[in-house]
A and B are shown apart, each in its own frame.
Chain A
């Protein structure tokens, strides 16, 4: 059991490090990329809908959305049908970030450190 937990912890740390590295080098973390790529095909969706689609808790999503909004990658507006609700769309900046990430992620994943840490998963 201990070895399984140790493996999980190592995996979690490797993922955390990969996420940070991706954000620093490519402008988006893996989670942010996943959110943007999903939002690209759901323009004007609600945060709840996006959370459901990516399988994330809405409160966790809020933090990621705030970061994406600060980067100018998403646009948050009032729902045209219900002013109490919000809708999300990806901006042109977001589209460019997606392109940059897609172009560089293979290189990032194949860099020695991550490859070593993610071995066996």
Chain B
């Protein structure tokens, strides 16, 4: 993993502007700082302004675990390339998969409600219903370790068995066999007829993009992590505006 704002990283970022490139971003922890209550996550005014400026010059997409409806309340993007629920919602919507995902989520919600007592009144654990996927948050739990173990044992019993993607103090439940962020990125590139892509994210869910065996994709992670498969990293989320300014300049903006 190399620092994205190093000489090599900057050279790669510039070379992306010579061809039709998709600039794709995760939302939480990438465009917006991580906050204790996910409903309060917001990109700064400057980040939003810069993102819109970049979207005027190149193709920009946001690929998030949030639902598209939720993303729309947090960010406005020219071209409206918002991809939600880890790829289930967005450009390449498959009606059958979406219907199946919604039914699975309803099933899981019912089952979780019945067994929620196992968490013994831990007020810091809650379910976020994203219609086509569920997110079980435990960031606000006073005993995160215990909460995580209890959630694992609840998830184990769910039928149909979900695909589990671990995030930062969150467990994402998606229908098995559904798309992931990597599939969403490739589909977006294909549908928009783009030659290559730059993707930046901060979480384990973004590893689905980082591990794609596709040399057309340049990947970066917010925060250095040895086990990550991303090629580059930013030291912290607060460097995002600097990155956006570099991309804008490379694409002919000011």
Instruction: Give chain A nearest CB distance to B58 CB in angstroms.
Output: 14
A28-53: CB near B (< 8 Å → 1, else 0) gives 00000000000011111110010000
* Interface contact A89-B1, CB-CB below 8 Å: no
The stretch of B13-21, B69-77, B101-109, B175-183 in contact with A is B13-21
Contacts A41-B196, A44-B215, A46-B215 known; A80 to B231 CB distance under 8 Å? Answer: yes
Instruction: Give chain A nearest CB distance to B231 CB in angstroms.
Output: 4
User: B193-248: which have CB < 8 Å to A?
Assistant: 195-196, 215-216, 218, 229, 231-232
* Interface contact B196-A89, CB-CB below 8 Å: no
| Docked complex Cα distance between A49 and B195 (Å) | 16
* Interface contact B8-A77, CB-CB below 8 Å: yes
| Docked complex Cα distance between A44 and B218 (Å) | 7
Say what secondary structure dominates the interface of chain B. mixed
> Which residue of chain A has the shortest Cβ distance to B229 in the bound complex?
A81
How many chain B residues touch A (Cβ–Cβ < 8 Å)?
Answer: 20
State whether the Cβ of B12 lies closer than 8 Å to any Cβ in chain A: yes
* Interface contact A91-B1, CB-CB below 8 Å: no
> Which residue of chain B has the shortest Cβ distance to A80 in the bound complex?
B2
| Docked complex Cα distance between A92 and B18 (Å) | 8
Say what secondary structure dominates the interface of chain A. mixed
A-B contact count (CB 8 A): 55
Instruction: Give chain B nearest CB distance to A33 CB in angstroms.
Output: 14
Contacts A81-B1, A81-B231 known; A42 to B12 CB distance under 8 Å? Answer: no
| Docked complex Cα distance between A80 and B10 (Å) | 13
| Docked complex Cα distance between A42 and B9 (Å) | 15
Instruction: Give chain B nearest CB distance to A47 CB in angstroms.
Output: 12
Contacts A42-B196, A43-B15 known; A49 to B1 CB distance under 8 Å? Answer: no
| Docked complex Cα distance between A68 and B19 (Å) | 19
| Docked complex Cα distance between A110 and B205 (Å) | 54
Q: Lowest 4 A-B CB distances belong to which pairs?
A: A80-B2, A89-B15, A43-B15, A41-B195
State whether the Cβ of B11 lies closer than 8 Å to any Cβ in chain A: yes
Contacts A77-B8, A80-B8, A81-B231 known; A44 to B15 CB distance under 8 Å? Answer: yes
Contacts A40-B18, A41-B196 known; A91 to B231 CB distance under 8 Å? Answer: no
- What residues of A have a CB within 8 angstroms of the CB of B232 in the complex? 80
* Interface contact B18-A44, CB-CB below 8 Å: no
* Interface contact A89-B11, CB-CB below 8 Å: yes
- What residues of A have a CB within 8 angstroms of the CB of B229 in the complex? 81
